[in-house]
Copies of this chain bind each other. A is one copy, B any other.
């Protein structure tokens, strides 16, 4: 089964291209410093980026000295935009659906992915392919939307004011046990995501053979919120989940 390719939809693409993380790339992604620390030194590494989008990470990795960078994405529009924003002999883009893609074995030192895996239906399959695609000392670093964020069954879940304390906002969490499809209205109606519990991500990683080396439920600090008052509600519940794992 193929993942929905919402990124080639005109309406979604138009909205997505206006997001801060689309326009400003890594600098517009508040979780990037934490993810970058997990990524570490990429100098001379062969890098694979699963769901490479606009190519921000591919360009960063190439600039940081990666030997080669392959970005795979399901959206031809995004690949075209990525190529438009800077060609580099070290970077190659490839059209591919992560639910069905074939990856070269023992060909990469780092497999990376940012906010793509919560669209996939076959996570176990991809994790096994990622494992096999890595060199014996290879590493796997990725982010997904946090299950607390993906769980609610509402099409547009949002914070609610508490009945007993109007100054306090809470995230109405429900259906956490019910893994699977969530249809969300975000930029466009009918975006299809997959809700998975944290333990499912971890079991899938361990089952594929990986050793977990890092887990971050990314949330802003009070200092972040001082600089970005618009992030205040993000202190209530995590939006991003970051993983680091090793093959060895």
Contact = CB atoms under 8 A, between A and B. Distances in A.
Interface of A: 148, 152-154, 160, 162-165, 168-178, 197-199, 202-203, 206, 211-217, 219-221, 234-238
Nearest to A219: B177
B236 A217 contact: no
Contacts of A154: 162, 164-165
Contacts of A202: 212, 215
Given A197-B219, A206-B212, 5 more contacts: A172-B172, A173-B173, A173-B237, A176-B219, A176-B237
A101 B173 CA distance: 37
Contacts of A175: 235-236
Nearest to A170: B172
Interface core residue of A152, A172, A234 (most chain B CB under 10 Å)? A172
A165 to B, nearest CB: 8
20 contacts: A148-B176, A153-B168, A160-B160, A160-B172, A170-B173, A170-B174, A171-B173, A173-B236, A175-B235, A176-B217, A176-B237, A177-B221, A177-B235, A178-B235, A197-B238, A202-B215, A203-B214, A206-B214, A211-B211, A212-B212
A212 B213 CA distance: 9
Contacts of A214: 203, 206
A162 B156 CA distance: 13
A234 B235 CA distance: 24
